[in-house]
Amino acid sequence: MILLHARGNEKIGIGNLARCYELVKFLAPNRDVKAIFECDEKLFSRFSQNAIRSENLEHSKELIYRLKPQIYINDLLDADKNLSDIARNAGARKIVSFNTLEYGFEPDALFIMDEFDYPAASGNFEVFRSFGYYIVGSDVVKRRAKFTPKTRLKNILLSFGGADPAMFSEYFANVIASDGRLYTLVLGPAMSDERKARIKSVKKPNLSFIDSPANLIDLILNHDALVTLGGMSAYEAMTLGTPVCGVEWSYLAYVVRSFAKLKMINNLGDIKNAYENLLNLNLASVNEICENAYLKISGDALAKIAKILDGFENERS
């Protein structure tokens, strides 16, 4: 069995849950695969196929022992050596990490899903590094068409993840003026109902809200640009050929800057300057950056990762 393990909530968002769930769905028709997802019941309802909901890390450890995976894939931000030891003692012959190793987690294989300029971790494990390993859902890839430059930047999609821990939704809802553009603000599924109600209380003629959409595919395709933090939605937009604008925040600021350095994203800078910088974007430059990103993010990560996992399986046989 292949077992994936991820967590999502209002504080950290749902990107890790979402990408692991896409891999579960891709593997499920032909492989024995399950997932442990640490999240509340409301979130779990979106990610329940072949999955078990866990209350907390200790519950997850119990499940790992019970399920006895042959391949264990970790996507927790704070995984430590104890967790990799538990997976190994439960019978895992290959331990894989999709995330940081700074807390001491000891994998046999590490996937780094970017090509940024920081050095890769090194140790007694294989490293697979490329934008080609960044997981974009099969439903997104199916909608990928030939790149077509935008002719305007009028309809703007604002989406800051399932939880928006940066609180940028509130900022943009308040700062948007009558500037000749139309804005759609996505309220993520990990936001509390109280928070959503506060944001939606802002009434402006050129601002509308979408609450917890099943996915962003049609929204991305029907808008001229996406404004985001630089997470999973950014990769989806790149795959679909929609320009991405990133706002710098916390640890994701490095991601936005790194994308901008590779000419894959329009960096709007700090939140205090983001709206003004958005208004001053140059269409020709936006299209050039968008096409470059489109060519780098091909959307075939699921197949590539599955092939590597099959190789791990063959090593045991």
pLDDT digits (tens, 9 = 90+) for 110-131: 999 999 999 999 999 999 999 9
Pair (178, 285) in one structural domain: yes
The terminus-to-terminus CA distance of the chain in angstroms comes to: 14
Pair (94, 219) in one structural domain: no
The count of structural domains within the chain is 2
Q: How far apart are CA 249 and CA 270, in angstroms?
A: 7
Percent above pLDDT 70 for the chain = 99
Pair (128, 219) in one structural domain: no
Per-residue pLDDT band for 180 (boundaries 50, 70, 90) equals: very high
Residue pLDDT, tens place only, 61-101 = 999 999 999 999 999 999 999 999 999 999 999 999 998 89
SS3 107: coil
Q: How far apart are CA 287 and CA 289, in angstroms?
A: 5
CATH number at residue 219: 3.40.50.2000
Per-residue pLDDT band for 314 (boundaries 50, 70, 90) equals: confident
Q: Can you name the residues that pair with 155 across neighbouring β-strands?
A: 182
Pair (103, 238) in one structural domain: no
Pair (127, 70) in one structural domain: yes
Report DSSP letters for 241-309, one per residue.
T--EEE---TTHHHHHHHHHHTTSSEE--SHHHHHHHHHT--HHHHHHHHHHHHHH--S-HHHHHHHHH
Per-residue pLDDT band for 315 (boundaries 50, 70, 90) equals: confident
Pair (246, 307) in one structural domain: no
The pTM (predicted TM-score) of the whole model is 0.91
Residue pLDDT, tens place only, 129-149 = 999 999 999 999 999 999 999
Pair (123, 16) in one structural domain: yes
Pair (152, 283) in one structural domain: yes
Residue pLDDT, tens place only, 155-179 = 999 999 999 999 999 999 999 999 9
pLDDT at 237: 98
Q: What letter would DSSP give residue 131?
A: G
pLDDT at 317 over 70: no
Other Cβ atoms closer than 10 A to 287: 18
Pair (284, 307) in one structural domain: no
Alpha helices in the chain (DSSP H): 15-27, 41-44, 57-67, 81-89, 138-142, 168-175, 193-200, 217-221, 232-240, 252-261, 271-279, 283-296, 301-316
Mean of pLDDT values over 212-217 = 95
pLDDT at 94: 98
Pair (167, 273) in one structural domain: yes
pLDDT at 316: 58
Pair (312, 275) in one structural domain: no
CB within 8 A of 11, min separation 6: which ones?
163, 165
Q: What is the C-alpha radius of gyration for the chain, rounded to an integer number of angstroms?
A: 20
Can you read off the two tokens belonging to residue 103? 């807390």
Mean of pLDDT values over 204-222 = 97
Q: Check if the beta carbon of residue 274 is closer than 8 Å to that of residue 108.
A: no
Q: How far apart are CA 147 and CA 150, in angstroms?
A: 10
CA–centroid distance for 224 within its chain: 21
Within 13 Å and on the Cβ side, how many CA atoms surround 95?
25
CATH number at residue 11: 3.40.50.11190
Least confident of 31-35, 49-53, 309-313: 309-313
Domain ranges, residue 210: 140-296
Pair (67, 113) in one structural domain: yes
Residue pLDDT, tens place only, 251-260 = 899 999 999 9
pLDDT at 89: 98
* Closest to 109 measured CA to CA, from 120, 95, 121: 95
